[in-house]
A and B are shown apart, each in its own frame.
Chain A
Amino acid sequence: MGTHNNSTSPNALGLKSILGTENLSAKQINTILDCADHFKKLHERGEEAPASLANKTIILLFFEPSTRTRGSFELAAKRLKGNTLVLTKEMSSAEKGETLFDTAKNIEAMQPDLLVLRHPSAGSPYHLSQRLNIPIVNAGDGFHEHPTQALLDMMTIREFKKDVKGLRVLILGDIAHSRVARSDIYALQTLGAKVRVCGPPTLMPPKAEKMGVEVFNDLDEAVKDQDVIICLRIQFERLNPGQSPSRGEYSKFYGMSSRRLKLAKPDVLIMHPGPVNRGVELSPDVADGAHSVILNQVANGVLVRMALLHLLTGGDALGATR
């Protein structure tokens, strides 16, 4: 599922909610990125962001642990002078047996302006968007989508490569269980990149090539000529025995090392949604090296989320260039 289209929506994106990148057009993605770039320029000039969220309330409902995404949304809302309320699984009544839908309806009764949801079950933001009147932003639903991560990834690529179109991008890791991979693939393809995926066969989704990507099991082959390499976190804590090799084995065959880096283009970007398993997905020298733009991703994350919150609550399309 992508986004919930509301043709009477007054906002600059023409969308009520952001559920995924699958159904976002290039124009919509660029509107968001241009707005984020605008906020970046203001920040660099030492100017304040507009108070687009003054007197507005953003509720963050996080049913899964998160550091950067949650913190990023909170900061984004606060920079636009909005009020935030964070509810986590432990704090909510889910522990007392309240269903997700009841929790959401109760929250809606408190009249927030927007709900950000992270949930372990795919489809949850879609269900909520059918039942609630307020905009929903999907901060990650199970293995399905993580649109704001993909958007900040696009912004980061654009920052260093000027344009996503025509780039060769490799997504590396546990593709089967990665919502980041799915959202990145849709966004990259919409913006005209050529995508390939690589990972252990046990962690590759069935019929992956039907998503329009090249599938590799051998990393040395996969990295050749790539402009961007997005490394995914391997979630050992979520895997069944038999699904993942040991850390040592994973790192040997699928870890990005300096040696492998040299097989890619000389100005290749190394990206990672975080948190990084040092020495497993990335060797420390790659993680901290000149090609790594991981920290830029984090900075761009706040800006992209500011752009989304601003646009979805009726803000103008700032910084429009295309």
Chain B
Amino acid sequence: MSPRPVLLKGGRIFDPSQNLDLIGDIFLRNGKVEAIATSIPVSREMAAMVIDVKGLIVTPGWVDIHTHLREPGGSHKETIKTGTEAAAAGGFTSVACMANTNPVNDNPFITSFINQKVASESEINVFPIGAITKGLKGEELAEIGSMWEAGIVGISDDGKTVMNSYLMRKAMDYSKKFDIVVISHCEDSCLKGRGVMNEGFNSAKFGLRGIPRTSEDLIVARDILLAELTGARLHIAHCTTEGSVRLVREAKKRGLKVTAEATPHHLTLTDDCVGTYDTNTKVAPPLRESQDVAALREGLIDGTIDTLASDHAPHSIEDKEVEYDHAEFGMIGMESAFPLYYRQTLENGVPLSRLISAMTVKPAEIIGVPKGTLKVGMDADVTVFDPEFKYKIDKTRFRSRSQNCPFDGWDVKGKVCYTINGGKVIYRSEHLKELT
């Protein structure tokens, strides 16, 4: 049953996929974008829901290609239901979920399980990413072809790096047959060792084992060379270093099919904040230093960093309320991502078109799904935000099952007002007045 038609009136319609920046109306019907114009008259018989979005910005529904929804096996941390509710509250209408579940999504049965759960419990679109290797062990290839038939949009051993270069090469060769992207989590496990934070002056000062930048740069370089050898499509997950950005930039200049992403936390925090031993700052790859944050921002501006992705990684209290050495790596992110991304436009010179493109058309392109655009006839996935609204991040109001967030209490600007998927309003911010 189709949702009621929806008319969003008087907003700033901003869609980088079609170079559109227009104050006007957008009309959604039968789950599709039906019209965009400065003014759309709508008859009473249509029984449309009219939403006044004056002063707000209307964009294609946001796409987050790096999330962990923890089902199957990790439902005490998050479920597909709670994770997708968190996504909707964060303004995301489409997410890709990583394969490091329990059991690992390395075969079509788990892929199908995830798809079924999504169909019955999710109000947003969820695209599973399959594992590169069985059990993420890095020893043999997973059933990539069968998973592709079951609907994966990419392969990744995220959480880990495939350390065997021969195997990574084979995975890239094989990916070409199905034209799926190979997403790499770049951390050389030998150089990383038992490190828990960035290796630098701070790791020495705080007395914690460090993870050198080279552990990331080395694998980024390796995977770029393997992508060149094989002709595969490579996407570098969560870049955190100056070196990674430089390597990706050079690879693109040479015409290689390499894309890259950055997270809200790596664009915002440095390893200084580890000084309080707050385990919510413990993440892989780790928070780095100010020159790395600056390089990521420059990369976002010049397009080296194609997309923004949260790496939403829920962990329970028992996993985090322990000594820094023993805490799990990861922080949730979908419900605090947008204001942190938007800050890059407000304060760090990232043009709005680049920012929104990195959240819509670009990630959709990387995973090969027809999303991230408001072109007439495409799916009615829309996100509306208030660029002026100021508020405090309050993790107790998050829909995620977990609360491992270091941004709690932060004063921020830029709030998601409505999230619409397939023409249905699935999230309306609490701060808004009632709809007409």
Q: Are A100 and B323 in contact (CB under 8 A)?
A: yes
Q: Are A122 and B204 in contact (CB under 8 A)?
A: no
Q: Give per-residue flags for A91-118: 1 if the beta carbon is below 8 A from chain B beta carbons, else 0.
A: 0000000011100000000000000000
How far, in angstroms, from A291 to B206 measured CA to CA in the complex? 33
Stretch at the interface among A35-43, A78-86, A204-212, A267-275: A204-212
Whether A207 touches B208, Cβ cut-off 8 Å, given contacts A100-B322, A121-B325, A122-B325, is no
Q: Are A120 and B210 in contact (CB under 8 A)?
A: no
Q: Enumerate B176-224 residues with CB–CB distance to A below 8 Å.
A: 193, 199-201, 203-210, 212
Residues of the B chain whose Cβ atoms lie less than 8 Å from the Cβ of A143: 207-209
In the complex, whether A320 has a CB less than 8 A from a CB of chain B is no
Q: Are A123 and B322 in contact (CB under 8 A)?
A: no
In the complex, whether B321 has a CB less than 8 A from a CB of chain A is yes
In the complex, whether A144 has a CB less than 8 A from a CB of chain B is yes
Q: Are B206 and A144 in contact (CB under 8 A)?
A: yes
In the complex, whether A145 has a CB less than 8 A from a CB of chain B is yes
Q: Are B277 and A99 in contact (CB under 8 A)?
A: no
In the complex, whether A182 has a CB less than 8 A from a CB of chain B is yes
In the complex, whether B349 has a CB less than 8 A from a CB of chain A is no
Give the Cβ gap from B319 to chain A, nearest Cβ, in Å. 11
In the complex, whether A1 has a CB less than 8 A from a CB of chain B is yes
Residues of the B chain whose Cβ atoms lie less than 8 Å from the Cβ of A121: 323-326
**Most chain A CB inside 10 Å of its own CB: which residue of B193, B204, B326:** B204
Q: Are A207 and B206 in contact (CB under 8 A)?
A: no
How far, in angstroms, from A182 to B201 measured CA to CA in the complex? 12
Number of interface residues of A (CB under 8 A): 27
In the complex, whether B73 has a CB less than 8 A from a CB of chain A is no
Q: Are B200 and A207 in contact (CB under 8 A)?
A: yes
How far, in angstroms, from A142 to B194 measured CA to CA in the complex? 13
**Most chain A CB inside 10 Å of its own CB: which residue of B275, B276, B277, B322:** B277
Residues of the A chain whose Cβ atoms lie less than 8 Å from the Cβ of B199: 206
Q: Enumerate B250-306 residues with CB–CB distance to A below 8 Å.
A: 275-277
Q: Are B207 and A127 in contact (CB under 8 A)?
A: no
**Most chain B CB inside 10 Å of its own CB: which residue of A120, A123, A124, A145:** A123
Q: Give per-residue flags for A198-218: 1 if the beta carbon is below 8 A from chain B beta carbons, else 0.
A: 000000011110110000000
Give the Cβ gap from B74 to chain A, nearest Cβ, in Å. 20
Chain B: which residue is nearest A124 at the CB level? Answer: B323
Residues of the A chain whose Cβ atoms lie less than 8 Å from the Cβ of B323: 100, 119, 121, 123-124, 127
Residues of the A chain whose Cβ atoms lie less than 8 Å from the Cβ of B326: 121
Q: Are A210 and B324 in contact (CB under 8 A)?
A: no
**Most chain A CB inside 10 Å of its own CB: which residue of B212, B318, B323:** B323
Chain A: which residue is nearest B212 at the CB level? Answer: A206
Give the Cβ gap from A203 to chain B, nearest Cβ, in Å. 12
Q: Are B201 and A206 in contact (CB under 8 A)?
A: yes
Residues of the B chain whose Cβ atoms lie less than 8 Å from the Cβ of A122: 206-208, 277, 324-325
In the complex, whether A240 has a CB less than 8 A from a CB of chain B is yes
How far, in angstroms, from A208 to B205 measured CA to CA in the complex? 9
How far, in angstroms, from A122 to B195 measured CA to CA in the complex? 13
Q: Are B325 and A101 in contact (CB under 8 A)?
A: no
Chain B: which residue is nearest A240 at the CB level? Answer: B193
Q: Are A123 and B201 in contact (CB under 8 A)?
A: no
Give the Cβ gap from A188 to chain B, nearest Cβ, in Å. 16
Residues of the A chain whose Cβ atoms lie less than 8 Å from the Cβ of B207: 122-123, 141-145, 179, 182
How far, in angstroms, from A199 to B322 measured CA to CA in the complex? 33
Give the Cβ gap from B184 to chain A, nearest Cβ, in Å. 26
Residues of the B chain whose Cβ atoms lie less than 8 Å from the Cβ of A145: 207
Give the Cβ gap from A210 to chain B, nearest Cβ, in Å. 5
Chain A: which residue is nearest B193 at the CB level? Answer: A240
Whether A207 touches B277, Cβ cut-off 8 Å, given contacts A122-B207, A143-B208, A144-B206, is no
Q: Are B321 and A101 in contact (CB under 8 A)?
A: yes
Q: Which of B318, B321, B324 contacts A123 (CB 8 A)?
A: B324
How far, in angstroms, from A122 to B277 measured CA to CA in the complex? 8
Give the Cβ gap from B375 to chain A, nearest Cβ, in Å. 50
Q: Enumerate B206-252 residues with CB–CB distance to A below 8 Å.
A: 206-210, 212
How far, in angstroms, from A208 to B12 measured CA to CA in the complex? 53
Chain B: which residue is nearest A22 at the CB level? Answer: B205
Residues of the A chain whose Cβ atoms lie less than 8 Å from the Cβ of B193: 240
How far, in angstroms, from A100 to B279 measured CA to CA in the complex? 14
Residues of the A chain whose Cβ atoms lie less than 8 Å from the Cβ of B318: 99
Q: Are B200 and A120 in contact (CB under 8 A)?
A: no
Give the Cβ gap from A4 to chain B, nearest Cβ, in Å. 12
How far, in angstroms, from A1 to B199 measured CA to CA in the complex? 18
Q: Are A142 and B321 in contact (CB under 8 A)?
A: no
Residues of the B chain whose Cβ atoms lie less than 8 Å from the Cβ of A99: 318, 321-322
Give the Cβ gap from B280 to chain A, nearest Cβ, in Å. 13
How far, in angstroms, from A99 to B206 measured CA to CA in the complex? 22
Q: Enumerate A126-146 residues with CB–CB distance to B below 8 Å.
A: 126-127, 141-145
Whether A207 touches B201, Cβ cut-off 8 Å, given contacts A121-B326, A142-B208, A145-B207, is yes
**Most chain B CB inside 10 Å of its own CB: which residue of A101, A119, A126, A127:** A127
Q: Are B204 and A206 in contact (CB under 8 A)?
A: yes
Give the Cβ gap from A149 to chain B, nearest Cβ, in Å. 14
13 CB-based A-B contacts, threshold 8 Å: A101-B321, A121-B326, A122-B208, A122-B277, A122-B324, A126-B276, A126-B277, A127-B323, A143-B207, A144-B206, A179-B207, A206-B200, A207-B200
B residues bordering A, Cβ < 8 Å?
193, 199-201, 203-210, 212, 275-277, 318, 321-326
- Report the 7 A-B pairs with minimum CB-CB distance, sorted nearest first: A144-B207, A123-B277, A205-B204, A121-B323, A122-B207, A143-B207, A207-B201
A123-B206, A124-B323 known; 9 other A-B pairs, CB under 8 Å? A119-B323, A121-B324, A122-B325, A143-B207, A143-B208, A182-B207, A205-B204, A206-B200, A206-B203
